Chains A and B, each alone.
Chain A
Amino acid sequence: MDSIILLIGITLMYSTPLIFGALGGVISERSGVTNIGIEGMMVIGAVAGASASYFTNNPWIAFLVAGICGGLVALLHAIASVSFAADQTVSGVAINLLAPGLALFLCRYFFDGAAMSPIVEKMPKVFGDSWMAGTVYSNLNVNVTTIIALLLTIATWFVLYRTKWGLRVRAVGEHPAAADTLGIDVYKVRYVCVILSGVFAGFGGASMTIGIISQFTQTAISGHGFIAMAAVIFGKWTPFGAYGACLLFGGTQALTVLLGGGSFPIPSQILAMLPYAMTIIVLVLFVGRSVAPKADGVPYIKGSR
Chain B
Amino acid sequence: MEVSSEYAVQMHGILKKFGVFTALDHVDLDVKKQTVHAILGENGAGKTTLMNILYGLYQADEGGIYLNGEEVKIATPTDAIKHGIGMVHQHFMLVENFTVTENIILGDEVCGAAGVLDMKKARQEVQALVEEYGFDVDPDAVIEDITVGMQQRVEILKALYRGAEILILDEPTAVLTPQEIEKLIEIMHDLIAKGKTIIIITHKLKEIMQSSDECSIIRRGVYMGTVNVKETNETDLASKMVGRNVNLTVEKTKAHPGEPVLSIQGLTVKDERGIDQVRDLNLEVRAGEIVGIAGIDGNGQQELVDAITNIVKAQAGTIKINGEEVQNTTPRNTYTHSVATIPSDRHRWGLVLPFAVSENTVLERHVDEEFGAGITLDYDKLKSYTTELIEKFDIRPSGCEDERMSGLSGGNQQKAIIARMVSAAPNLLIAFQPTRGLDVGAIEFVHKTLIAERDRGAAILLISFELDEVMDVSDTIAVIYHGQIVGTYEQGTVDENELGLLMAGGGAK
Q: A residues within 8 Å of B by Cβ?
A: 162-165, 167-168, 170-171, 174-175, 177-184, 294, 303, 305
Cβ A167 vs Cβ B102 within 8 A:
yes
User: Interface code B56-92, partner A: CB below 8 Å = 1, 0 otherwise?
Assistant: 0110000000000000000011100100000101010
**Total count of chain B residues near the partner, CB < 8 A:** 29
Residues in B with CB closer than 8 Å to A165 are 115
Residues in A with CB closer than 8 Å to B93 are 175, 177-178, 181-182
User: In whole angstroms, how far apart are the Cα atoms of A178 and B87 in the complex?
Assistant: 11
User: In whole angstroms, how far apart are the Cα atoms of A178 and B104 in the complex?
Assistant: 11
Other contacts beyond A178-B93, A184-B107: 10, CB < 8 A: A162-B117, A164-B109, A167-B106, A167-B117, A174-B95, A179-B95, A181-B57, A182-B93, A183-B76, A183-B107
Which one of B57, B96, B103, B109 contacts A294 once the chains associate, using CB atoms below 8 Å?
Answer: B96
User: In whole angstroms, how far apart are the Cα atoms of A181 and B159 in the complex?
Assistant: 11
Cβ B109 vs Cβ A174 within 8 A:
no
For the residues of A in contact with B, the DSSP-based class is helix
For the residues of B in contact with A, the DSSP-based class is loop
Residues in B with CB closer than 8 Å to A164 are 109, 111, 115, 117
Min C-beta distance of B54 to chain A, whole Å? 13
Residues in A with CB closer than 8 Å to B96 are 174-175, 294
Cβ B95 vs Cβ A175 within 8 A:
yes
Cβ B78 vs Cβ A183 within 8 A:
yes
Residues in B with CB closer than 8 Å to A171 are 95, 98, 106
Which one of A163, A170, A175, A183 contacts B77 once the chains associate, using CB atoms below 8 Å?
Answer: A183
Q: B residues within 8 Å of A by Cβ?
A: 55, 57-58, 76-78, 81, 87, 89, 91, 93-98, 102-103, 105-109, 111, 114-117, 158
Some 22 contacts from A to B, beta carbons below 8 A apart, are A162-B116, A163-B114, A164-B115, A165-B115, A168-B106, A174-B96, A174-B97, A175-B93, A175-B95, A175-B96, A178-B93, A178-B95, A178-B103, A178-B106, A179-B95, A181-B57, A181-B87, A181-B89, A182-B81, A183-B78, A183-B107, A303-B58
User: In whole angstroms, how far apart are the Cα atoms of A175 and B55 in the complex?
Assistant: 19
Cβ B94 vs Cβ A178 within 8 A:
yes
Cβ A168 vs Cβ B107 within 8 A:
yes
**Known interface pairs A168-B106, A183-B78, A184-B107. Does A303 touch B98 (Cβ–Cβ under 8 Å)?**
no
User: In whole angstroms, how far apart are the Cα atoms of A42 and B278 in the complex?
Assistant: 48
Closest to A302 in B: B57
Min C-beta distance of A181 to chain B, whole Å? 5
Complex A-B, nearest 3 residue pairs according to Cβ-Cβ distance, in ascending order: A182-B107, A183-B78, A178-B93
